[in-house]
Amino acid sequence: MNKSETIKFVHSTTTPRAAAIAGILFAALFTLSIALVRMSMPADLADISGWTDVTRGRVSLAMGLMPFAGLAFLWFVGVARDRLGAFEDQFFSTVFLGSGLLFLAMTFCAVAVGAGMSAAYQIGGSQVMTMDVYLFGRAVTSQMFNTYALKMAGVFMFSLSTLWLRTGVMPRILSYLTYAVVVVMLVSVSQNLWMVLIFPAWVLIISVYILILNLRREPTVSRDGMTAQ
């Protein structure tokens, strides 16, 4: 193995490991953000006075964490594609990549609307954030996240599990389990906000599995300094 081949091998071994860790980081940050928002919601969402300084502070923290969660998700998409390697199917890979990016874009849009509403209230109070504006912004945020973003997350999971079945790069049982999770998530997510956490939990499982595989294949270094399998 020459020097260029060694560098290429080391790069292909360490990069997926770092990306798998990023998938775990996404799961943690995304879960924390959703939990903060859910625990801050007043009993009556239509009552703007139900939001206090404490709950608005929690929501602001959740919105501040979401961009970092999105960055980590991009790394997870990278490790998922790297896992497919040369067996990547162009058709399903396009759906897989596009749905992942759409999920991230719609999530960011929903967070941006919520952050804009919070900033408007801090600047002008109830004179700016009237009940009509609040109800409209809440409805838009809910639709973008619960209807569009999470549906794209379901398509992301479905297309990736299909690629796993076609290529055999992941256990078949994991693909079938993903199909079942997609059905549960698409049916139940609009009824319970906590069901949203199914998606980061799935990302966590996949990331941990890939990380374990990479750790088992950790390269060894010979006496001449060359890296070997």
Instruction: Decide: helix, strand or coil at residue 4.
Output: helix
Query: What's the angle, vertex CA 71, arms to CA 134 and CA 37, rounded to 5?
Result: 30
By CB atoms closer than 10 A (0-12, 13-18, 19+), residue 28 is middle
Percent of the chain with pLDDT over 90: 23
pLDDT of 59 strictly over 70? yes
Q: 207-221, pLDDT tens digit by residue?
A: 888 888 777 765 544
pLDDT of 222 strictly over 50? no
At residue 86, φ and ψ (nearest 5 deg) are: -75, -10
DSSP type of residue 123: H
Cα dihedral: 185, 189, 195, 198 (round 10): 30
Q: 60-102, pLDDT tens digit by residue?
A: 899 999 999 999 999 888 877 776 766 666 677 788 889 999 9
Task: Give the pLDDT score at 19.
Answer: 61
d(CA 173, CA 196): 22
Which pLDDT band, with edges at 50, 70 and 90, does 192 fall under?
A: low
CA atoms lying within 13 Å on the CB side of residue 122: 10
Number of helices (H) and strands (E) in the chain: give both, helices first. 7, 2
Distances in Å between the Cα of 73 and the Cα atoms of 32, 86, 159, 165, 179 are 15, 22, 16, 22, 20
d(CA 75, CA 15): 10
Where are the domains positioned within the chain? Answer: 3-217
pLDDT of 200 strictly over 50? yes
